[in-house]
Amino acid sequence: MSQKPIVIVGRKLPEAVEARLARDYRAQLNDEDRLYATDELIARLEGADALLACHTERMDAATIERLPKSVRAIANFSVGVDHVDLTAAKRRGIVVTNTPDVLSDATAEIALLLMLGAARRAGEGERLVRAGAWKSWSPAFMLGTQVTGKRLGLIGMGRVGRTFAHMVRGLGMQLHYHNRRRLPAEQAANGIYHETIEDLLPHCDFLSLHCPATPETNDLLNAQRIALLPDGAIVVNTARGAIVDEDALIAALRTGKLAAAGLDVFKNEPDIRPEFRGLDNVFMLPHLGSATHETRDAMGFRALDNLDAVFAGREPGDRVA
């Protein structure tokens, strides 16, 4: 290469990742961490060789068709790629990559936090203490749902789902799962396989969602499926907001069909439904699944490994289009 490729960076990245970018590429960083409007992002990409994108950069078909001809690659700082129209990228000959593997532990930790927080009413309790409204203790005060020994169902047993399944073994939970295929017993933490979601749901005191967002999984957890859960079940979502019918979830939380929910992802985030904020039985986080120093560095380095391969004429290890 006579000149280093130009890489436009969608959002503010960890310091170590930006240092490597500046060393190896002509990088245009986003020091202010602004969310670029589509027109501005396309203008910035004029003459650029690649975009290093996060899930906040929506690359739908219309946007991809408008990308300058110079753009050869979109390296995503995420494992999910539902924000990119892969068919449109293939049509344009643009290489698209993601960052699998490196965020499984961190995201599974958040699923565990959400499950425990929702079950034990941690959000309510924390707000009570902060407001100075905790006045006394009694045997009937702030009773939640015990997790140990309960039945846990997982929809999706990819990297994060498998990590979470192994992580909860110490809680003595009975594992059930639905996946596109049955896994070897050790991979599935000796969980019980169910061929359909409908067969799985009646066995779930807790349900944790770990499937990707695709047209097929849009509103996967709807009113009909929530009705199949045991009364008082608890739902956890660290995957994508699109896979939950939020009207149905809110209704079930209001009626008590669901005891609680632990949510790290939402539709149209960060502009979430105001109804969620009014429900005490929802334990919410602002999309923190991969938010550790170690994981975010690893994601950035993985994205750069993919760009290095593209510009060296090699097949990138994490190509999805």
Instruction: Express each pLDDT in 93-102 by its tens digit.
Output: 999 999 999 9
pLDDT digits (tens, 9 = 90+) for 215-271: 999 999 999 999 999 999 999 999 999 999 999 999 999 999 999 999 999 999 999
pLDDT digits (tens, 9 = 90+) for 312-321: 999 999 999 9
Nearest to 20 by CA among 301, 292, 293: 301
Known catalytic residue: 287?
yes
Which one from 72, 92, 151, 269 is the annotated catalytic residue? 269
The answer on pLDDT for 142 being more than 60 is yes
Known catalytic residue: 240?
yes
Angle at CA of residue 49, ends 45 and 50, nearest 5°: 75
Q: Give the whole-angstrom CA distance, residue 278 versus residue 127.
A: 13
Domains of the chain by range and CATH?
6-102+293-311 (3.40.50.720), 104-284 (3.40.50.720)
Q: Predicted confidence band at 1 (pLDDT cuts at 50, 70, 90)?
A: very low
Known catalytic residue: 176?
no
Which one from 240, 246, 296, 302 is the annotated catalytic residue? 240
* Percent of the chain residues past pLDDT 90, beyond the cut: 99
Stretch 53-57: mean pLDDT: 96
Q: What residues contact 309, with CB distance under 8 A and at least 6 apart?
A: 315, 316, 317
Which one from 120, 121, 210, 287 is the annotated catalytic residue? 287
Q: Predicted confidence band at 2 (pLDDT cuts at 50, 70, 90)?
A: low
